[in-house]
Structure 1
Amino acid sequence: MKYRIENLIDKEAVEKRIKELAREIEKDYAGEEVYCVGLLKGSVIFLSDLVKEINIPVIIDFMSVSSYGSETVSSGDVKILKDTDLDLRGKHVLIVEDIIDTGLTLEYVIKYFKEGKGVKSLRTCTLLNKPERRKVDVKVDYIGFDVPDKFVIGYGLDYDQKYRNLPYIAVVIPE
């Protein structure tokens, strides 16, 4: 497929919003230790930059969950590819996502944490949110940006495993 890339959210806006999210998280977790669980691979860049801005104790872990193949839309079939390494029982957990689209992946992960992990509290944070695509009602505590129903890349988000390294958010436009 032939396509072009158009800038949607520039690097400066992303950096500014991450700092704002960090302040919100610090306020909500004041005096606590927070376990940030990034959903691989997409959240890595966002999570890395976010935790550098958070000025309270942060422990990082990862989980790999998939609902995408090489397609540009969620398959809706959620699978855990890698579970967390740490024991999260009794911990304050913040799930960090790159993008929330249909909400199916996040709904699955929230249920998994609430039913099987015994966490003290559970909140969610995403860099990008596509409310137009939502298939299930999921609570998102911290949202970087609402974006239109277009395929977005950059800042950890990929198109067929490419473009994760872009320092901004862009849209893939088929030609």
Structure 2
Amino acid sequence: MDASDIEKDLTEILHTEEEILAKLKELALRIEADYEGKDLLVVGVLKGAVMVMADLARSFSRHVEMDWMAVTSYGSGTKSSGVVRILKDLDTDISNRHVLIVEDIIDTGLTLTWLVSNLQSRKPASVEICTAFRKPDAAKMAVPVKYVGFDIPDEFVVGYGLDYAEKYRNLRCVATLAPHVYS
């Protein structure tokens, strides 16, 4: 879906599909260099990270093993509740593995802080974070993110996996959602 298909629902395009793909390729090069010779497991956080994970994985020039977790702290609103639930756990044992969490967006940091703690309790060799988007002004917890695509304003955004009430995930860009949609 292109922004022109739903332009009345959007206020501003923050990053185009081309900009996002270029940034993911850049991040993939850094990740490959950092994990050269290491057994890397890339863990996508469902549902939002599907687009990011797919395009990041396709940007690697090496084999990459993937697994998925689904955690939630949102419900159907536009703000994080801070209460985290696992909806789908990993299928892979991460003991002594290098784990890279791939997120679509980090805003408050509450969910990710909980997720990192949960994964570290499973005794991996390392846990690092890659996110396509981060809202520094929304942070309530300091989260050490090694790979960041774009810092964006603390506004409600959709597209490229990011949703509002399960809609807009397939929008090819990332844009701010018009307040009339969620008010």
TM-score, L = length of structure 2: 0.91
Secondary structure of the equivalent of 1:8? strand
1:12: which partner in 2? Answer: 18
Answer yes or no: is the 8 Å Cα contact 1:67–1:78 preserved in 2: yes
Take 1:51 and 1:4, find their aligned partners in 2: how far apart are those partners? Answer: 29
Q: Report the CA distance between 1:5 and its aligned residue.
A: 4.2
| Alignment partner of 1:108 is 2:108 | no
1:40: which partner in 2? Answer: 46
2:63: which partner in 1? Answer: 57
Match of 1:159 among 156, 159, 164: 164
Match of 1:128 among 133, 150, 153: 133
Q: Deviations over 1:129-162 (max 9, x none)?
A: 0010100111001000000000011000001100
Answer yes or no: is the 8 Å Cα contact 1:91–1:120 preserved in 2: yes
Q: Report the CA distance between 1:90 and its aligned residue.
A: 0.8
Q: Which runs of 5+ in 1 are unaligned?
A: none
RMSD (Å) for aligned C-alpha atoms: 1.2
Take 1:15 and 1:33, find their aligned partners in 2: how far apart are those partners? Answer: 25
% same residue: 49
2:81: which partner in 1? Answer: 75
Q: Which runs of 5+ in 2 are unaligned?
A: 1-7
Q: Which runs of 4+ in 1 moved over 3 A?
A: 2-5
2:150: which partner in 1? Answer: 145
2:124: which partner in 1? Answer: 119
Q: Deviations over 1:83-133 (max 9, x none)?
A: 100111111100000000000011001100111x11011110000000101
Answer yes or no: is the 8 Å Cα contact 1:33–1:56 preserved in 2: no
Secondary structure of the equivalent of 1:76? coil
